[in-house]
Amino acid sequence: MRIAIIEDELLAVNYLKDLLDQQSIVPITETVILRSKKQAIDFFETHSADLIFMDIHLGDGMSLDIFEHMELFTPVIFITAFDEYAMRVFRHFTIDYLLKPFEQDDLHQALQKFISIKGNFDPEPVLKSISTLYQTDNPEKMKRFMVREGNKLKSVDEHDTAYFFASGKYLFLTTNDNQTYIYDDTIKDIIHKLNPDRFFKINRKFIINKNAIIEIIKHSSQKIEVKLSPTPEINSDVFISKRQITEFLTWLKN
């Protein structure tokens, strides 16, 4: 059978694919990786799959938008890092979901459920439920972030995230207890997925949590430095971009 994974986080893709390769519940002949909503739409215009693993939030929008472009009659196991949103989706859909970070047993249970329903799967209630979700739900911002710790995935809560910083080709996440992890995203894209009340992009390299600020130093009206805790690994001072100063001060007051 052909499996399609619709997921924009490469770390999560590799983790799920490894677990699927190790299991023996369903025979898999091909695993298709689709990293965006657009890739998924282009693929399913001419191809099909026997089972889809679909992250709800993708870099280019909500994966549920895919159902607006085409009729998919394939069972879907949703993947999400959003507790409340996952529960609302689960109540609407008869297919299972995986809540990040999930373990091997969680995947096996979802596959067992797929086996039990695939023979009499009816897509009509699913399509109606998606329509209901569009009318009643507003997508939440990300509240947890998946990082790799050894050979496992770890979930870092937004409250425990001090800041994101870009260095070279990589984006890093630093926690309040001074642990730094590579995060599979770009600073340009991640800012749109974050809670704007909590996070602010102060320059091209840093997105900071309001709680990570310990001091603001005004060198001049056009040069403002921010002291962060923990101290960034990048060996340089952190300044607010000139274009961001007014907006930053407003954000800080609010």
CATH number at residue 73: 3.40.50.2300
Same domain, 158 and 247: yes
205 occurs within a structural domain: yes
126 occurs within a structural domain: no
Burial label for 126, CB within 10 Å (0-12, 13-18, 19+), is buried
Same domain, 11 and 68: yes
34 occurs within a structural domain: yes
For residue 247, give its domain range: 144-252
SS3 of 51, please? strand
SS3 of 99, please? strand
pLDDT computed for residue 124 by the predictor: 58
Same domain, 187 and 243: yes
Please name the residues in contact with 232: beta carbons below 8 A apart, sequence gap of 6 or more.
163, 165, 174, 206, 238
pLDDT computed for residue 108 by the predictor: 94
pTM above 0.95, yes or no: no
Same domain, 181 and 223: yes
pLDDT computed for residue 248 by the predictor: 93
Same domain, 41 and 81: yes
Last-in-domain residue among 105, 120, 135: 120
Same domain, 62 and 152: no
Same domain, 99 and 182: no
Last-in-domain residue among 88, 120, 152: 120
132 occurs within a structural domain: no
pLDDT computed for residue 95 by the predictor: 65
Give me the residue label for tokens 């001049």: 220
Rounded Cα distance between 107 and 19, Å, is 8
pLDDT computed for residue 11 by the predictor: 87
The domain total for the chain is 2
Rounded Cα distance between 218 and 225, Å, is 6
Same domain, 101 and 150: no
Same domain, 172 and 94: no
Same domain, 154 and 229: yes
Same domain, 108 and 209: no
pLDDT computed for residue 81 by the predictor: 72
pLDDT computed for residue 86 by the predictor: 53
pLDDT computed for residue 163 by the predictor: 97
CATH code: domain of residue 248: 2.40.50.1020
Bridge partners for 224 per DSSP: 218
Other beta carbons within 10 Å of 205: 18
C-beta separation of 139 from 57 below 8 A: yes
Backbone angles phi and psi of 95, in degrees to 5: -90, 160
Element (H, E) at 156: strand 152-157
Please name the residues in contact with 41: beta carbons below 8 A apart, sequence gap of 6 or more.
66, 69, 70
Tell me which residues of the chain have a pLDDT lower than 50: 92, 134-138
- Tokens linked to 68: 């607006």
Element (H, E) at 33: strand 30-34
131 occurs within a structural domain: no
Same domain, 81 and 25: yes
